[in-house]
Amino acid sequence: MHSLTRVEAVERAGLLTVDSYDVELDVTGDGGWFRSTSVVRFHAGRAGASTFVDVKPARLVAARLNGVPLDVATLDGDRLPLPALRERNELVVEAEMAYSNTGEGLHRFVDPADGEVYLYAVSFLDAAPRVFACFDQPDLKAPVTLTVTAPAGWLVAANGAHAASAGGRHTFATTEPLATYFVSLIAGPYHARHEVHDDVPLGLYARRSLAVELDKDADEIFTVTRQCLDRFHELFGVRYAFGKYDQAFVPEFNAGAMENPGLVTFRDEYLFRSVVTDSQRQLRATTIAHEMAHMWFGDLVTMRWWDDLWLNESFAEYLGVRVTAEATRFRQAWTTFAMRRKAWGYIADQRPSTHPVAPDEVADAALALLNFDGISYAKGASVLRQLVAWLGDEPFLAGLRAHFAAHRFGNATLADLLGALSEASGRDLAGWADAWLRRSGANTLRAEVGDTVHIVQTGEPPRPHRIGIGVYDGGVLTRRVEVDIQGGRTRVPDLAGDLLLVNDGDLTYAKVRLDYGSADAVARIGDPLARALVWASTVDAVRDGDRPVADLVALVDAALPAETELVVIEDVLRMSTDLVRRYLTGAQRELALRRVAQACERLLAGALPGGSHQLAAVRGLVAAGTDAARFRGWLTGVDVPDGLKVDADLRWELYHRLAVLGAAGADEIEAELAADRSATGEQWAARCRAARPDPVAKERAWRVLTADTTLAGRLVEACAEGFWQPDQAVLTESYVERYFAEMPAAARLRTPWVADRIAAVAYPRYAVAASTREMAAALLARDDLGPGLRRVVVDSDDDLRRALAARTRQQTI
Residue 235 has pLDDT above 80, yes or no: yes
What residue spans of 133-246 are helical by DSSP H? 211-236
Average pLDDT over residues 766-787: 96
**DSSP labels, 356-369:** -SS-S---BHHHHH
Q: What is the pLDDT of residue 319?
A: 98
Cβ atoms < 10 Å from Cβ of 211: 15
Cβ atoms < 10 Å from Cβ of 625: 20
Of 338, 378, 803, nearest to 572 (Cα)?
A: 338
Could you give the count of Cα atoms lying within 13 Å of 363 in the half-sphere of its Cβ?
3
Could you give the count of Cα atoms lying within 13 Å of 287 in the half-sphere of its Cβ?
22
90: left (phi over 0), alpha (psi -120 to 50) or beta: beta
**Angle, vertex CA 651, rays to CA 646 and CA 657, nearest 5:** 125
Of 554, 517, 519, 516, nearest to 536 (Cα)?
A: 519
**Rounded CA gap, 274 and 181, in Å?**
33
Q: Which of 94, 291, 565, 672 is catalytic?
A: 291
Of 53, 124, 184, 141, nearest to 368 (Cα)?
A: 124
Average pLDDT over residues 251-255: 96
Handedness of CA 408, 413, 419, 421 (dihedral sign): positive
Query: Residue 520 — pLDDT band, cuts 50, 70, 90?
Result: low
Q: Which amino acid is at 125?
A: L
Whole-prediction pTM: 0.97
Cβ atoms < 10 Å from Cβ of 29: 12
Query: Residue 381 — pLDDT band, cuts 50, 70, 90?
Result: very high
**Rounded CA gap, 762 and 397, in Å?**
43
506: left (phi over 0), alpha (psi -120 to 50) or beta: left
* Digit-coded pLDDT (tens) for 64-96: 999 999 999 999 999 999 999 999 999 999 999
* Digit-coded pLDDT (tens) for 726-753: 999 999 999 999 999 999 999 999 999 9
Instruction: Kindly list the distances between the CA atom of residue 474 and the CA atoms of 471, 522, 528, 569, in Å, as whole numbers in the listed order.
Output: 10, 10, 15, 22
Q: Which residue has the higher pLDDT, 525 or 692?
A: 692
Average pLDDT over residues 799-810: 91
**Rounded CA gap, 231 and 567, in Å?**
25
Please answer whether residues 42 and 91 qualify as being in contact, where contact means their C-beta atoms are separated by less than 8 angstroms. yes
Percentage of the chain exceeding pLDDT 70: 99
Residue 450 has pLDDT above 90, yes or no: no
**Rounded CA gap, 31 and 677, in Å?**
24
Cβ atoms < 10 Å from Cβ of 740: 20
Average pLDDT over residues 643-663: 98
What residue spans of 328-413 are helical by DSSP H? 333-336, 342-350, 365-369, 380-391, 393-407
DSSP 76: B
Residue 445 has φ and ψ, to the nearest 5°, of -115, 140
**Rounded CA gap, 97 and 76, in Å?**
16
Please answer whether residues 528 and 534 qualify as being in contact, where contact means their C-beta atoms are separated by less than 8 angstroms. no
Of 628, 694, 689, nearest to 663 (Cα)?
A: 628
How buried is residue 76: exposed, middle or buried, by Cβ count under 10 Å (0-12/13-18/19+)? exposed
291 is catalytic: yes
Please answer whether residues 537 and 521 qualify as being in contact, where contact means their C-beta atoms are separated by less than 8 angstroms. no
Residue 769 has pLDDT above 90, yes or no: yes
Of 726, 734, 668, 664, nearest to 698 (Cα)?
A: 734
Q: What is the pLDDT of residue 629?
A: 98
Q: What is the dihedral of CA 474, 477, 478, 483, to 10 degrees?
A: 130
Q: Please enumerate in sequence order all residues whose Cβ is within 8 A of that of 290, keeping only pairs 6 or more positions apart, or say none.
A: 257, 316, 317, 319, 320
Q: What is the dihedral of CA 496, 500, 506, 510, to 10 degrees?
A: 120
Q: Which amino acid is at 699?
A: E
What are 51's strand-pairing partners? 82
Q: What is the pLDDT of residue 493?
A: 87
The H-or-E segment that residue 735 falls in is: helix 729-748
Q: Please enumerate in sequence order all residues whose Cβ is within 8 A of that of 373, keeping only pairs 6 or more positions apart, or say none.
A: 348
What are 265's strand-pairing partners? 248, 258
Average pLDDT over residues 701-727: 96
Q: Which amino acid is at 749?
A: L
**Rounded CA gap, 216 and 5, in Å?**
46
What are 673's strand-pairing partners? none
Q: What is the pLDDT of residue 494?
A: 82
Please answer whether residues 754 and 103 qualify as being in contact, where contact means their C-beta atoms are separated by less than 8 angstroms. yes
Average pLDDT over residues 488-513: 91
Helices (H) and strands (E) in the chain, counts: 27, 28
**Rounded CA gap, 617 and 368, in Å?**
39
**DSSP labels, 234-268:** HHHS----SS-EEEEEETT-SSSEE--TTEEEEEG
* Digit-coded pLDDT (tens) for 601-641: 999 999 999 999 999 999 999 999 999 999 999 999 999 99
Q: How far apart are the first and last CA of the chain?
A: 53
Of 688, 638, 680, nearest to 662 (Cα)?
A: 688
The H-or-E segment that residue 33 falls in is: strand 33-44
Q: Which amino acid is at 169?
A: R
Average pLDDT over residues 412-422: 96
Q: Helices 586-606 and 566-583, interaxial angle, to 10°?
A: 170
Could you give the count of Cα atoms lying within 13 Å of 716 in the half-sphere of its Cβ?
29
Q: Which amino acid is at 249?
A: F
Lowest mean pLDDT among 305-319, 453-467, 517-531: 517-531
Three-state SS for 663-710 is CCCHHHHHHHHHHCCCHHHHHHHHHHHHHCCCHHHHHHHHHHHHHCCC
Query: Residue 517 — pLDDT band, cuts 50, 70, 90?
Result: low
* Digit-coded pLDDT (tens) for 572-591: 999 999 999 999 999 999 99
Please answer whether residues 567 and 332 qualify as being in contact, where contact means their C-beta atoms are separated by less than 8 angstroms. yes
Q: Please enumerate in sequence order all residues whose Cβ is within 8 A of that of 204, keeping only pairs 6 or more positions apart, or say none.
A: 192, 193, 194, 214, 218, 221, 222, 246, 247, 248, 249
